[in-house]
Amino acid sequence: MANIKVMDASLANKIAAGEVVERTMNVVKELVENSIDAKSTRIEITLEDAGVKRIVVQDNGKGMSKEDAHLAFLRHATSKITQLEDLFHVTTLGFRGEALPSIASVSHVSLLTSDGKEGTFLKLEEGKIKEESSSSLVRGTTITVEQLFYNTPVRLKYLKNLYTELALITDYINKMALSYPSIQFILKNNDKQLLNTTGDGNLLKVIYEIYGIEVAKKMLPLALENEDYRIEGYMSYPEVARTNRNVMTTLVNGRVIRNSVLNRVILDAYHTYIPKDKFPILIMNIEVDPILIDINIHPTKMDIKFSKMDTLKELLTKGIVENLKKTLLIPHASVRTQETIEEVLQNSPPPAPKPFLDFVEDNYEVKENETTQLHFETETMTNRQETEEEETEEVTSNQDAHATIKRMFPVGVVHTTYIIAENEEGMFIIDQHAAAERINYEKYLKELSKETTELVPLLVPLSLEFSNEEYLLIKEKLDQIKDLGIICEEFGQNTLVIREHPTWFVEGKEKETLQKIMEILQREDTFSKEKFIEKTAITLACRMSIKANDYVSIEDMQYLLDTLTACKNPFTCPHGRPTIIAYSKYDLEKMFKRSAES
């Protein structure tokens, strides 16, 4: 007697359902994708108890004939592909032919559909048609899914609570609305409307309807292109970054996808603009020839592989970085306003920042100031004025690359931490530690990246002692230490003697700087010079900068602000925290009821 038997169709569908339908969100996803493939312009999703009790998806798409309605519930029956070659040119969201039979095998399903010529009603249980009749000729399809997992109670048991299931569905529908702004999406749960987009094709309006007016005002348009890829969408100002990575929505040819490599590229591009535990709000649709991607990896079709990932990474990184550099990224203090989405749309994309040709300071040499601990070499105002013309020319040549800030004048300090400054455009609050961190970070990054480093020979060598374990780790990296301009030699047991060090070391802080560098080297399992330089610059900038509650004179405040405006990114510290918050003159007048509109 044969041991191998052909599996019953009902059992096979239940097994397939375990891959396609894990929770209520998967049902909604498959049905909504079918509606999109049917060229619908309006899709309404109605839930009861987050879809556990009932899911209804109604569209106004092209509908199905009676014959197609029957075939739709057969496994591997699809209108999307007919031969193997079609897998390399998939342009629809669905193509496997597994979703409907899988859903029908673990729930009670009703189908009401019409192609405009004939209407069909089907009712199925365990994947088998139990009832059939004619229906109205209103074009479109309505699918009702009830009692999900009624015949697989173990799977029902492992569903999360209703709030979690509803949150997953809401997140998915939000992403689909962002993917297809020309389709009206309506989402309801227990008679409460959660989303209703206009479907007029304006992506910024959808962003407003999902995230609100404050986020919509702070989105930058993204339009990038090379020989292989075209990217369109919006990216947020760093100040509206969120703690949930789900706010990064990536689409490929209109399909919502997951790709950890692309997420890492986006976060790297925002590096030092946002904190490590924050994520930018980003919606981007990548258009690419289907032959360059593979979506047939997982039944959910959310994972994807790219054939030319390097060119995509380069395009995306360059586009995001340039967008951030050319935009004035000073967070504005929140002021109550009646601004509408129509006003936001009129002002989108944001206007280019005004040129700043007044004054900058680009001297980052370090010298400790005994009173204030400002680690920037002090020079007289006369010397600054002598080089002002030269510096102005340099800023002018960089206007296209970097947004700049008009010179700010300090008027005082609050809590010995926040500098209050002004110019003709408004009032500014500057975090003195964050500002000093940014200045020192860019200085250290520049010095550490130099191919050749000027050295200072020490009359009295410095000695550094380590534990046995630490010393073994340091010995492995003696060549890298020398490349950084630190000339040392072994001395006795577990001890290094430093004979020379780079000129940019802070006077009086040489030993502390060396210890920090050695600590970072010990933590590096596999040495990467670029990553090491980045970590070292961030660590030294934090340790060597003035702190909150440190006293700073008005003269040193002015020097700090002037030096900050010369930075490549004066808007955030290396950890991504803001350095400046602005109140425009209009904001102040509005708050004090001086403006005509208030």
Number of residues written out for the chain = 598
- Cβ neighbours of residue 170 under 8 Å, at least 6 residues apart? 187, 194, 195
468-475 and 510-523 are packed helices; what angle lies between their axes, rounded to 10 degrees? 80
Instruction: For residue 487, report the phi and psi dihedrals to the nearest 5 degrees.
Output: -95, 115
Residue 488's closest CA among 472, 499, 480, 477?
A: 499
Q: Name the pTM for this structure.
A: 0.66
The whole-number pLDDT of residue 390 equals: 45
Distance in angstroms (rounded) separating the CA atoms of residues 582 and 557: 17
Distance in angstroms (rounded) separating the CA atoms of residues 273 and 570: 10
Domain locations along the chain: 9-196, 203-333+339-346, 362-598
Side-chain-side CA neighbours of residue 175 (13 Å): 28
The whole-number pLDDT of residue 400 equals: 43
Residue 103 contacts residue 17 (beta carbons within 8 Å): yes
pLDDT tens digits for 224-248? 999 989 999 999 998 888 888 889 9
The whole-number pLDDT of residue 95 equals: 44
> Same fold for the domain at 9-196 and the one at 203-333+339-346?
no
pLDDT tens digits for 358-399? 323 333 333 333 334 454 433 333 334 444 444 444 433 444
Architecture of the domain made up of 9-196: 2-Layer Sandwich (3.30)
The whole-number pLDDT of residue 309 equals: 87
Enumerate residue ranges in the chain where pLDDT < 70: 1-20, 75-97, 151, 153-158, 160, 295-303, 333-403, 525-527, 595-598
- Cβ neighbours of residue 112 under 8 Å, at least 6 residues apart? 119, 120, 121, 135, 141, 142, 143, 144
Please give the class, per CATH, of domain 362-598: alpha beta
Architecture of the domain made up of 203-333+339-346: 2-Layer Sandwich (3.30)
